[in-house]
């Protein structure tokens, strides 16, 4: 990991894009390990993810990034590059439900998620014992209508002090303000307990039961100012029937929530997601 980097590119589609990027990497001694691309013919957009080895680089990383920047300017590319040696930091926001929290902590401890977890933030004290069990600092920031803005500011201060890269809302039952989301734009992942865009908002399992659906789902998406309408990263479904109660739907749904959220977090941490037009391109 210390000798690798990942380049993500989005730009208007035109000839020569793949060759231009490959040539600049090759010219600096970088060895491409994996490359995946996608073209959206409707939007006329090109997307690419390239993972490459830096161990035999002829120049330094600054020179390489300068060369990539020059190619990007020529092709009107939006791009970002991440280095494998930097371990990201993820903060988890929770309320009272513990299933997603436990799952993420166990996966991180088992090295399934390549990230540090410097803190857990909650508007309730209930899950502090879980944080203590894993040796992670727990910050209880109770929220009322009157204190919401002040408590969010405290949370932002904690995140900045810890140099947090990603915020995961693991069934955090609060709506974040626009100001908070702007501070971490494209860096907040939420799990919603329905197959969006169906059953947005609260109590989706109850509404699914009332509607008599035969499938229920879970959706991980980037949080935006528009509630439950951010770019979708990952989804999954499970079958249900007329014999299932609301409690059955909740039980089945929670299993999905854990898996879908973990997949989305892993994809983000592995730099496999590009966002455009409120949609995502997710490279496998």
Tens digits of residue pLDDT in 158-208: 999 999 999 999 999 999 999 999 999 999 999 998 888 888 888 898 989
13-51: b or e for each residue (b if 16 or more CB lie within 10 Å)?
eeeebeebbeebbeebebeeeebeeeeeeeeebbbbbbb
Q: Which domain holds residue 209?
A: 88-282
pLDDT-derived band at 227 (thresholds 50, 70, 90) equals confident
Please indicate, yes or no, whether residues 29 and 97 belong to a single structural domain of this protein. no
Question: With 90 as the cut, is the pLDDT of residue 23 above it?
Answer: yes
228 annotated active-site:
yes
Please indicate, yes or no, whether residues 18 and 92 belong to a single structural domain of this protein. no
Please indicate, yes or no, whether residues 45 and 125 belong to a single structural domain of this protein. no
Please indicate, yes or no, whether residues 77 and 98 belong to a single structural domain of this protein. no
DSSP H helices in 95-172: 99-109, 128-133, 148-161
Please indicate, yes or no, whether residues 135 and 246 belong to a single structural domain of this protein. yes
Nearest to 209 by CA among 242, 251, 256: 242
Please indicate, yes or no, whether residues 261 and 123 belong to a single structural domain of this protein. yes
Please indicate, yes or no, whether residues 116 and 47 belong to a single structural domain of this protein. no
Please indicate, yes or no, whether residues 221 and 250 belong to a single structural domain of this protein. yes
Domain termination site, one of 83, 112, 131? 83
Please indicate, yes or no, whether residues 217 and 275 belong to a single structural domain of this protein. yes
191-217: b or e for each residue (b if 16 or more CB lie within 10 Å)?
bbbbbbeebeeeebbebbbeeebeebb
Please indicate, yes or no, whether residues 95 and 116 belong to a single structural domain of this protein. yes
Domain termination site, one of 83, 100, 134? 83
Please indicate, yes or no, whether residues 156 and 190 belong to a single structural domain of this protein. yes
Question: With 70 as the cut, is the pLDDT of residue 1 above it?
Answer: no
CATH code, 215: 3.40.50.170
pTM given for the model: 0.93
What are 203-208's contacts with CB under 8 Å, separation 24+?
Answer: 205/246, 205/249, 205/250, 205/253, 206/246, 208/240, 208/249
Candidate list 40, 103, 126, 228, residue with the active-site label:
228
The whole-angstrom separation of Cα 108 and Cα 101 is 11
Domain termination site, one of 30, 49, 83? 83
* CA 96-101-106 angle, 5° bins: 150
């Amino acid at each position: 990991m210390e000798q690798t980097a990942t380049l993500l590119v989005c730009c208007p589609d035109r000839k020569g894009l793949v060759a231009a990027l490959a040539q600049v990497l090759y010219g600096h001694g970088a060895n491409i390990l994996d490359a995946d691309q996608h073209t959206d013919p409707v939007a006329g957009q090109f997307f690419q993810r390239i993972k490459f080895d830096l161990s035999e680089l002829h120049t330094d990383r600054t020179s390489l990034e300068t060369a990539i920047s020059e190619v990007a300017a020529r092709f009107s590319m939006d791009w970002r590059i991440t280095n494998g040696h930097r371990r990201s930091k993820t903060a988890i926001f929770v309320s009272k439900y513990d299933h997603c929290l436990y799952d993420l902590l166990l996966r991180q401890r088992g090295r399934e998620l390549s990230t540090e977890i410097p803190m857990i933030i909650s508007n309730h004290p209930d899950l502090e014992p879980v944080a203590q069990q894993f040796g992670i600092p727990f910050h209880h920031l109770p929220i009322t209508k009157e204190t919401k803005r002040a408590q969010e500011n405290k949370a932002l201060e904690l995140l900045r002090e810890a140099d947090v890269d990603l915020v995961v809302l693991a069934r955090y039952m609060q709506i974040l303000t626009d100001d908070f989301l702007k501070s971490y734009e494209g860096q907040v992942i939420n799990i919603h307990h329905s197959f969006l865009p169906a059953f947005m908002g609260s109590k989706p399992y109850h509404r699914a039961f009332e509607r008599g659906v035969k499938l229920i789902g879970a959706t991980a998406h980037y949080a935006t100012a528009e509630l439950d309408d951010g770019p979708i990263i990952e989804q999954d479904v499970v079958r249900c029937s007329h014999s299932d109660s609301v409690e059955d739907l909740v039980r089945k749904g929670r299993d999905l929530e854990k898996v879908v959220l973990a997949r989305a977090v892993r994809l983000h941490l592995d730099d496999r997601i590009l966002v455009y037009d409120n949609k995502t391109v997710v490279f496998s």
